[in-house]
Amino acid sequence: MSKHTITLTVNGEEVSREVEARMLLVHFIREHLDLTGTHIGCDTTSCGACTVSMNGAAVKSCTVFAVQANGATLETIESVATNGDLHPLQEGFWEKHGLQCGYCTPGMIMSARHLLEKNNNPTEEEIRWGISGNLCRCTGYNKIVEAIQYAAEKLQQETAEEATQ
């Protein structure tokens, strides 16, 4: 029954909206903010297609109420490319054919980004572990893992290049 005005930073911009307490964060993102890159793939908190970054951590936005995000910093898949340039992860998914239908992909990328921020040189096992909260029905995961390995390498190269400049 309660309605609340929430104010949060989404992809770098401050937004303020009135929502019912029961509105899920994923619905808020998709319906109030028109950011439909975040997907709803299940009803059971299993698939991870709804993964976003909240206060720096990758979370399943279908299992968070929008009111809980009051004052938070939110990043969705729409924030991953910068000025139209693909992030190494997005490039990796392209180069390595890490997607078929693309439904799980935004969630995969958000989880992978969080993984690479914490561990910039993950082993294959660490990658598989790191994305174990995201389900894919198309690819069998191997190409997704390769895409993330591609991105990890590219990010390390970029960091090395920046260091020498």
Strand 3-10 and strand 73-75: the pairing is parallel
Interacting residues with another protein between 135 and 154 (CB under 8 A)? none
How far is residue 99's CA from residue 24's CA, in Å, rounded to a whole number?
Answer: 27
If binding is defined by CB under 8 A, does position 22 make contact with another protein? Answer: yes
Rounded to a whole number of angstroms, the minimum distance from the CB of residue 105 to another protein is 15
- Single out the residue of 129, 140, 153, 157 in contact with another protein (rule: CB under 8 A): 129
Rounded to a whole number of angstroms, the minimum distance from the CB of residue 78 to another protein is 19
Contact of 70 with 7, CB cutoff 8 Å: yes
Which element (helix H / strand E) includes 14? Answer: strand 13-20
Q: Could you write out the DSSP letters of every residue in 93-123?
A: HHHTT--SS-SSHHHHHHHHHHHHHH-SS--
DSSP 62: G
* Count of residues in the chain: 165
Rounded to a whole number of angstroms, the minimum distance from the CB of residue 83 to another protein is 28
How far is residue 63's CA from residue 26's CA, in Å, rounded to a whole number?
Answer: 8
If binding is defined by CB under 8 A, does position 45 make contact with another protein? Answer: yes
If binding is defined by CB under 8 A, does position 163 make contact with another protein? Answer: no
Give the per-residue contact string, 67-106, with another protein (x = CB under 8 A; - = no). xx-x------------------------------------
If binding is defined by CB under 8 A, does position 130 make contact with another protein? Answer: yes
# residues contacting another protein (CB under 8 A): 34
If binding is defined by CB under 8 A, does position 48 make contact with another protein? Answer: yes
How far is residue 23's CA from residue 127's CA, in Å, rounded to a whole number?
Answer: 32
**Interaction site with another protein (CB under 8 A):** 1-2, 4, 20-22, 24, 27, 43-46, 48, 51, 57-60, 62-65, 67-68, 70, 111, 115, 118, 129-134
